[in-house]
Structure 1
Amino acid sequence: MKPKLESLLHEYGLADKVLFVARQTFEGIIDTMRNGYIFVLPSLKAIDSNKGFDIVYLEVHAY
């Protein structure tokens, strides 16, 4: 999925505006949330998944 998204970013001239964030320390996550303008979390529905509202939405809102 990431290569396709990166390709679209280049196509639309947004590659320098978007940061894909990998695993980070807790402090790194907070710093990233505080310095961001937009938070995007892609949602992939797994066949056996019953996961609903993710706590990360509340966490990012707090910062």
Structure 2
Amino acid sequence: MKVVVDQDKCIGSGQCVLASEQVFDQRDEDGIVVLLQDDPAAELHEGVRQAAQVCPALAIEVNET
């Protein structure tokens, strides 16, 4: 799995962090998403998929490879 985030689309809702705090974080100054792992371990995949689904700005892309 490869994860890509578009910080320009991000609105800082934080739903990604709630779904997978091991993979996503937010910048302190504006809440914009920060990708901690672009190739997360298999046990984190479900949380990453959930984060992409709940992102209101559709700023997370998951490539299943």
Which structure has more relative contact order (CA 8 Å, sep 6+)? It is: 2
Q: TM-score, normalised by structure 2?
A: 0.30
* Higher helix proportion: 1
**TM-score, normalised on structure 1?**
0.31
Instruction: Looking at secondary structure, tell me which structure has more strand per residue.
Output: 2
Q: Which has the larger radius of gyration?
A: 1
